[in-house]
Amino acid sequence: MNKPFSDAKLHDCRDAFTAMLESLAVADDAIVAVCNDSVGSSKLGGFREKFPERLINVGIAEQNMVGVGAGLANGGKIPFVCAAAPFLTGRALEQIKADVAYSMTNVKLVGISSGMAYGELGPTHHSIEDFAWIRALPNVPVIAPADRIETAAAVKWAASYEGGCFLRLSRVGVPDILPEGHVFELGKAQVLRNGSDLTIVANGVLTHRAMTAAVMLEDRGISARVVNMACVRPIDEAAIESAAEETGAILTCEEHTTFGGLGSAVAEIVVETCPVPMKRLGVPGVFAHTASANVLLDDFGMSPAAIADSAADLVKRKR
Amino acid sequence: METEELRKIANRVRRRDLQAVFEAGAGHIGGEMSVTDLLTALYFKTMSVDPQAPQDPARDRLVLSKGHTALALYVMLSERGFFPKGEISTFLKYGSRLNGHPNRVKVPGVETNTGPLGHGLPIGVGMAKAAKLDGAAWRTFVITGDGEMQEGSNWEAIMAAAQFGLDNLTLIIDHNRLQQGARLADTNDLAPLAPKLEAFGWAVEEIDGHDMDQICRALSAETVTAGKPKCIVAHTNKGQGISFMSDDVAWHHKVPNEAQYRQAMAELEEAAG
């Protein structure tokens, strides 16, 4: 069997984030980084060396961190507010709502080590509710890049976009998927692989697993389309509608609770405009047991083989 | 502007505020009366703002963190020319941009959307930091309520402001000793506030928050301590200027009836001279 990424080098998307941020900051001195004692975990050490005045560390104080970001934006800066995703989105959710979303400020929220990247550290450090929380708010696009290339493209886009956004970045290594030179477009998904029997929609660390599953399905005589859906909001309705019309079934995979995330967002479009059988893979509304990030994904039915099995079951439900 | 003129403006703002609360049948009149003198000094004496260019990058910034007293800010902004005075009559009306808490996207002169307490000071820290990064001279002012200082986010911001040495940031605490449900002293007593701020590394000044001379002096740039953010603990009265409201917790957001409205207006008109 052909495994597409078996020999691929894995990359930590945080490196792509900081490399792009540093390069943008050279050209635009309005760009600043704000963090909560997370210089190391946000990989901002290089930024601090190059731009010591523009690295604003507020200490362990996430509510203040997001407010400071909004104030910096008011003062003409382009703040990238970086913190571990669970604390950025959980602790400072009201600041994100009032100071960023409602106030429509130019604050780039960067949730680092998102999903279950912190693995064995446990559910306090997992961020598997953030799609649901943030996509419920107007004015804050929610973006989960699939690899280092999409991460860099999304960071570049964010710096030039006039408005707030939430970038959800993992630390778990992923192979290259998108072509070098990929340009990020808000609300635009990519068909990574064409197929006719069903569509697998994924983002973040699940995209390469979905690609591998599609290859496994091919061996089983099932033709699976794979759509990379980095934007949970605004979501690419056209890509979902054509997936439903052309493949007749949709399987979603996400490193998030199945309550309110990518699968829910896709299902909202499907039920209203193009009803077809669906299955949503994710964390099934529980706090995770002790395991590393990738093992947790496997345990929650999102190994490539398990994704392929779910896809095969879903295809049987068609018509 | 002379302090006598400032007092006249403050009186006019109080009367307009009272009328708007009465007509709308809602508002936070107690805290609006306590903060009016502070806002008057800021908008008509201390701050450099241009109603014709509300987004001027070099403007001074005010964040009214106690956003529930938005009406006082609206009246002030309209008096200062940011939007027509007549629009105050739309306060809380269907579709009005003047809702119960200020919105920067809709209302010129508003810097950030406040309402949930404990948001304004962190934003003020970010503003002041932005000015420092640019070496710009504009100043940032934040007004909080005293009960609002019970929010932990304020103390996160207080630590950061001292750490960053933000002497271009002034926090004014509207210390009227009452919060929505009861007296501060009977709830979660933060008083005395000054030593707490001093312990966190701020320069602190206590003033009578209804004495226009004291307010103007405390807000002037000459009274800033280099390298330290400044806190003005403004001792005020909730319901200031209206005898039966003053220092009475019942008037947090109570609406006067017809007789009370007439009496309150008569008192304010008499004070106007």
Would you call B123 and A59 a contact, using CB atoms and an 8 Å cutoff?
no
Please give the C-alpha separations between residue A52 and each of A48, A64, B157, in angstroms, as whole numbers.
5, 20, 21
CATH number at residue B190: 3.40.50.970
Beta-sheet strand order (sheet of A142-143):
A55-57, A31-35, A78-84, A108-112, A165-168, A142-143, A231-233
Q: How many CB atoms lie within 10 A of CB A158?
A: 26
Question: Distance between CA atoms of A237 and A235, rounded to whole angstroms?
Answer: 6
Question: Distance between CA atoms of B35 and B57, rounded to whole angstroms?
Answer: 26
Most A-contacting residue of B129, B144, B158 (CB-CB within 10 A), to test interface: B129
The dihedral formed by the CA atoms of A63, A67, A70 and A75, expressed in degrees to the nearest 10: -150
Asked whether residue A129 carries a pLDDT value surpassing 60, the answer given is yes
Would you call A79 and B115 a contact, using CB atoms and an 8 Å cutoff?
no
Asked whether residue A3 carries a pLDDT value surpassing 80, the answer given is no
Asked whether residue A199 carries a pLDDT value surpassing 90, the answer given is yes
Sign of CA dihedral A201, A205, A206, A210: positive
CB of B214 within 8 Å of a chain A CB? The answer is no
Domains A13-168 and A190-316 share a fold: yes
pLDDT at A2: 56
Chain B contact set for A59 (CB, 8 A): 156, 159-160, 163
Contact by Cβ (8 Å): A256, A144? no
CB of A59 within 8 Å of a chain B CB? The answer is yes
Spatial CA neighbour of B207 closest among B176, B232, B174: B232
CATH architecture entry for A13-168: 3-Layer(aba) Sandwich (3.40)
Q: Nearest CB to B122: which of A67, A79, A103?
A: A67
Would you call A68 and B129 a contact, using CB atoms and an 8 Å cutoff?
yes
Contact by Cβ (8 Å): B209, B175? yes
Q: Nearest CB to A71: which of B118, B126, B134?
A: B126
Helices (H), B182-247: 193-199, 212-219
DSSP chain A: ---TTTTPPPB-HHHHHHHHHHHHHHH-TTEEEEESS-TTTTT-HHHHHH-GGGEEE--S-HHHHHHHHHHHHHTT-EEEEEEEHHHHHHHTHHHIIIIIIITT---EEEEES-BTTTGGG-GGG-B-SHHHHHHTSTT--EE--SSHHHHHHHHHHHHHSSS-EEEE---S-B---SPTT----TT--EEEE--SSEEEEE-GGGHHHHHHHHHHHHHTT--EEEEE--EEES--HHHHHHHHHHHS-EEEEEEEESSSSHHHHHHHHHHHH----EEEEEE-SS---S--HHHHHIIIIISHHHHHHHHHHHHHT--
Give, for B201, the enclosing helix (H) or strand (E): none
pLDDT bin (cut points 50, 70, 90) of residue B160 is very high
The catalytic residue among A49, A62, A185, A241 is A62
Chain B contact set for A100 (CB, 8 A): none
Would you call B126 and A73 a contact, using CB atoms and an 8 Å cutoff?
yes
Q: Nearest CB to B116: which of A32, A58, A94?
A: A94
- B36 by DSSP, 3-state: which? helix
pLDDT bin (cut points 50, 70, 90) of residue A116 is very high
pLDDT at A4: 81
Question: Does residue A234 have a cis bond before it (omega within 30 degrees)?
Answer: yes
- For the question of residue A62 being annotated catalytic, the response is yes
Would you call A59 and B128 a contact, using CB atoms and an 8 Å cutoff?
no
Amino acid sitting at position A217: L
Q: Are strands A190-193 and A142-143 parallel, antiparallel or unpaired?
A: unpaired
Q: What domain range includes position B181?
A: 3-272
Would you call B133 and A53 a contact, using CB atoms and an 8 Å cutoff?
yes
pLDDT at A6: 84
Mean of pLDDT over chain A:
97
Would you call A77 and B152 a contact, using CB atoms and an 8 Å cutoff?
no
Q: Which CATH class is domain A190-316?
A: alpha beta
**φ, ψ for residue A192, nearest 5 deg:** -85, -25
pLDDT bin (cut points 50, 70, 90) of residue B146 is very high
CB of A164 within 8 Å of a chain B CB? The answer is no
pLDDT in tens, A283-310: 999 999 999 999 999 999 999 999 999 9
Q: Nearest CB to B153: which of A63, A75, A105?
A: A63
Contact by Cβ (8 Å): A77, A70? no
Amino acid sitting at position A117: A
Q: Please report, for chain A, the start and end positions of each structural domain, with discontinuous segments joined by +.
A: 13-168, 190-316
Chain A contact set for B113 (CB, 8 A): 98-99, 102-103
Question: Distance between CA atoms of B151 and A46, rounded to whole angstroms?
Answer: 35
Question: Distance between CA atoms of A198 and A249, rounded to whole angstroms?
Answer: 5
Asked whether residue A166 carries a pLDDT value surpassing 70, the answer given is yes
pLDDT in tens, B219-269: 999 999 999 999 999 999 999 999 999 999 999 999 999 999 999 999 999
pLDDT at B273: 80
- Give residues 95 to 114 of A whose Cβ lies within 8 Å of B: 95, 98-99, 102-105
Asked whether residue A1 carries a pLDDT value surpassing 70, the answer given is no
- Nearest 5°: CA angle at B174, between B169 and B175? 125
pLDDT in tens, B173-221: 999 999 999 999 999 999 999 999 999 999 999 999 999 999 999 999 9
Question: Distance between CA atoms of B170 and B158, rounded to whole angstroms?
Answer: 11
Asked whether residue A101 carries a pLDDT value surpassing 80, the answer given is yes
pLDDT at A178: 97
3-state secondary structure A189-230: CEEEECCCCEEEEECHHHHHHHHHHHHHHHHCCCCEEEEECC
pLDDT in tens, B81-136: 999 999 999 999 999 999 999 999 999 999 999 999 999 999 999 999 999 999 99
pLDDT at B7: 97
pLDDT in tens, A13-54: 999 999 999 999 999 999 999 999 999 999 999 999 999 999
Segment B158-183 shows an average pLDDT of 97
Domain count of chain B?
1
CB of B128 within 8 Å of a chain A CB? The answer is yes
Shortest alpha-carbon distance between residue B153 and chain A (Å) = 6
Considering only alpha carbons, which residue of chain B is nearest residue A60? Answer: B156
pLDDT bin (cut points 50, 70, 90) of residue B44 is very high
Q: C-alpha A83: how far from its chain's center?
A: 15
Identify the DSSP state of B149.
G
Chain B contact set for A102 (CB, 8 A): 103, 113
